[in-house]
């Protein structure tokens, strides 16, 4: 894969309220246009909300004792601290010294209000909002022991690799469903997140899944919250270019809504399926321009080597529709489709087991291959009983044909004919002409020897019948000869 397309390459957290002066991106909405020509990677690390400078470790508010920096971005530091009154460890988010402008402080306050208002099991809990001795705001939150979802999707060290190895597709879908629950809850209060991505999700060591970083959050529609910006009041573009919805990238706030967060959820599903974020480009300007046009390669085109269930591909595509009217409109609908897929998870696991048996069969000795083909067919048949999804039907046809071919090779023509007939019927039902034709060819091979045997048997019966007539004739002649002899002598 091209280094520019490796989602794990970049960890920079540029924060910029950005619009562009080119392409499909509106002009006049850029605080610092230099960011547009910076190199871009598909990493989830670039959030457009303003650019920051160096790092500073602030003094904590009274009653808290610092335990060191546990995270940093271009806008803020996150510190581990001891809350002395309750003897517990917390996390404190505080603006960097160079980011304590009136505008940044208003944004920080809005983020604090949004996070505190949304009390949900999958949203990071806020304990307090305090000021240090200089009067600067500090947000006190739960200290989550774990790692970001991004670290599990793109591990960069042995510990993350070990944790990632314990997860399968179903685990990642469970994370996404919990995120959906959090976002749906926020929407119920009229709050859009607008910056959903794996980097902004913490996965705790004890099963917690928490949506973090509500710095781009705004209210929408008839909802208004004191201290928070309303969607109609925005003057700049916010979000992460590699995930941002087309209407957000164009700065079309009148067309932004809950469906925009659905697009971001679809972008995370896209990354689960393909290993990459939806939007790419050499520079931030390129990424934003492509995002604004809504051009996302189909998941299987982005990563052909990965196996992807059809249902998830279809859901991902529907969530990433560039046309809002064609996109899934609400988070609950998206989550419902995802849950429906998970109900069929056992069928997919059986299908995966069938694929493994087919792979083993090809490598096994001739005397052993048939056993693996029979197991593959059995797994497919069980999966079909649970859920007759198209990809499972296709796999079943393949397993039946391969099993029939092996049975022909080993001379078990009865089994071969049975598998070929089943494959032919299913292939014809699905409209797979090539597979149906191949099944018919196998049936010809199975029946041809039997027809030849029937002809040989019929010829033998005819010969036997002729011999019987000849024997009877000879016997009759013998009797006649005996009778004549008796008369003559």
Q: What digits encode the pLDDT tens for the residues 321-374?
A: 999 999 999 999 999 999 988 888 788 889 989 999 999 999 988 889 999 999
Residue 475 has pLDDT above 50, yes or no: no
pTM score: 0.68
Nearest to 315 by CA among 348, 272, 355, 357: 272
Active site residues: 195
Question: How confident is the model at residue 3, as a pLDDT?
Answer: 38
Residue 482 has pLDDT above 90, yes or no: no
Question: How confident is the model at residue 41, as a pLDDT?
Answer: 56
**What is the average per-residue pLDDT within 435-457?**
71
Question: How confident is the model at residue 14, as a pLDDT?
Answer: 29
Phi-psi sector, 63: left (phi>0), alpha (psi -120 to 50), beta: left
Would you list the DSSP string of 289-358?
Answer: HHHHHT----HHHH-TTS---HHHHHHHHHHT-SSGGGS---HHHHHHHHHHHHHTHHHHHHHHHHHHHH
CA distance 6 to 41: 7
Which helix (H) or strand (E) is 284 found in, with range? helix 284-293
Q: What SS3 class is residue 139?
A: strand
Question: How confident is the model at residue 176, as a pLDDT?
Answer: 98
Question: How confident is the model at residue 476, as a pLDDT?
Answer: 53
489 in any annotated domain? no
364 in any annotated domain? no
10 in any annotated domain? yes
179 in any annotated domain? yes
Nearest to 26 by CA among 304, 331, 237, 269: 237
Residue 257 has pLDDT above 80, yes or no: yes
Question: How confident is the model at residue 53, as a pLDDT?
Answer: 33
Residue 448 — pLDDT band, cuts 50, 70, 90? low
Q: Tell me the percentage of the chain whose pLDDT exceeds 90.
A: 49
Higher pLDDT, 94 or 466: 94
pLDDT digits (tens, 9 = 90+) for 412-426: 888 999 999 999 999
440 in any annotated domain? no
Question: How confident is the model at residue 366, as a pLDDT?
Answer: 84
**What is the average per-residue pLDDT within 99-107?**
86
Residue 49 has pLDDT above 60, yes or no: no
Question: How confident is the model at residue 398, as a pLDDT?
Answer: 93
pLDDT digits (tens, 9 = 90+) for 380-406: 999 999 888 888 899 999 999 999 999
Helices (H), ranges, 118-257: 149-153, 158-165, 169-188, 246-249
Residue 434 has pLDDT above 60, yes or no: yes
**What is the average per-residue pLDDT within 271-300?**
92
Least confident among 211-220, 289-298, 300-309, 464-473: 464-473
Tell the residue number behind the tokens 């390669």, with chain if given: 297
277 in any annotated domain? yes
In the beta sheet, which residues pair with residue 78? 71, 93
Q: Across the chain, what does the average pLDDT equal?
A: 82
Look at the chain and report how many structural domains it folds into: 1
Burial class (CB in 10 A: 0-12, 13-18, 19+), 474: exposed
Q: Strand order of the sheet with strand 76-83?
A: 64-72, 76-83, 88-95, 137-142, 126-131
Residue 457 has pLDDT above 80, yes or no: no
CA distance 141 to 214: 13
64 in any annotated domain? yes
Nearest to 302 by CA among 279, 334, 326: 279
**Ramachandran angles phi, psi of 232, nearest 5°:** -75, -10
Least confident among 19-23, 189-193, 482-486: 19-23
pLDDT digits (tens, 9 = 90+) for 135-158: 889 999 999 889 999 999 999 999
139 in any annotated domain? yes
Least confident among 13-22, 186-195, 323-332: 13-22
Q: What SS3 class is residue 429?
A: helix
Question: Which two structure tokens, joined as six digits, stand for 179?
Answer: 């995120």
Question: How confident is the model at residue 33, as a pLDDT?
Answer: 52
| Contacts with 395 (C-beta within 8 Å, 6 or more apart), sequence order | 351, 354, 355, 380, 383
What's the CATH number where 35 sits?
A: 1.10.510.10
- Residue 207: give the domain boundaries: 3-342
């Amino acid at each position: 894969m091209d280094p520019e397309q490796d989602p794990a390459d970049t960890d920079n957290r540029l924060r910029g309220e950005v619009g562009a002066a080119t392409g499909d991106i509106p002009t006049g909405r850029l605080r610092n246009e230099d960011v547009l020509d910076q190199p871009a990677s598909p990493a989830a690390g670039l959030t457009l909300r303003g650019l920051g400078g160096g790092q500073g470790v602030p003094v904590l508010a009274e009653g808290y004792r610092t335990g060191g920096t546990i995270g940093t971005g271009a806008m803020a530091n996150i510190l581990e601290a001891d809350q002395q009154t309750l003897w517990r460890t917390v996390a404190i988010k505080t603006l960097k010294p160079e980011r304590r402008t009136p505008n940044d402080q208003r944004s920080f306050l809005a983020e604090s209000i949004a996070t505190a208002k949304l009390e949900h099991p999958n949203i990071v809990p806020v304990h307090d909002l305090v000021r240090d001795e200089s009067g600067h705001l500090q947000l006190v939150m739960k200290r989550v022991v774990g790692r970001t979802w991004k670290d599990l999707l793109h591990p960069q060290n042995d510990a993350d690799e070990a944790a990632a190895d314990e997860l399968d597709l179903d685990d990642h879908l469970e994370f996404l469903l919990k995120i959906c629950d959090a976002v749906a809850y926020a929407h119920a209060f009229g709050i859009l997140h607008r910056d959903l991505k794996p980097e902004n999700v913490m996965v705790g060591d004890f099963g917690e899944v928490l949506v973090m970083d509500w710095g781009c959050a705004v209210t929408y529609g008839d909802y208004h919250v004191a201290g928070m910006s309303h969607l109609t009041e925005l003057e700049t573009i916010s979000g992460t270019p590699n995930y941002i919805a087309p209407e957000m990238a164009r700065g079309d706030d009148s067309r932004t809504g809950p469906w925009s967060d659905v697009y971001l959820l679809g972008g995370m599903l896209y990354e689960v399926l393909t290993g990459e974020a939806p939007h790419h480009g050499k520079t931030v300007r390129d990424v934003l321009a492509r995002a604004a046009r809504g051009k996302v390669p189909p998941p299987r085109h982005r990563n052909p080597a990965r196996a992807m269930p059809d249902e998830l591909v279809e859901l991902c595509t529907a969530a990433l529709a560039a046309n809002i009217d064609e996109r899934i409109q609400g988070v609950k609908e998206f989550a419902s489709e995802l849950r429906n897929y998970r109900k069929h998870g056992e069928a997919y696991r059986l299908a995966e087991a069938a694929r493994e048996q087919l792979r083993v069969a090809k490598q096994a000795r001739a005397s052993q291959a048939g056993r693996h083909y029979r197991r593959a067919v059995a797994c497919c048949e069980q999966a079909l009983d649970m859920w007759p999804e198209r990809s499972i039907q296709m796999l079943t046809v393949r397993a039946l044909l391969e099993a029939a071919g092996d049975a022909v090779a080993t001379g078990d023509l009865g089994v071969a004919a049975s598998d070929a007939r089943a494959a032919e019927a299913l292939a014809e039902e699905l409209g797979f002409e090539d597979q149906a034709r191949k099944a018919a060819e196998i049936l010809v091979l199975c029946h041809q020897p039997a027809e030849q045997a029937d002809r040989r048997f019929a010829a033998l019966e005819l010969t036997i019948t002729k011999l019987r007539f000849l024997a009877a004739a000879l016997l009759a002649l013998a009797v006649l000869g005996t009778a004549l002899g008796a008369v003559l002598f």
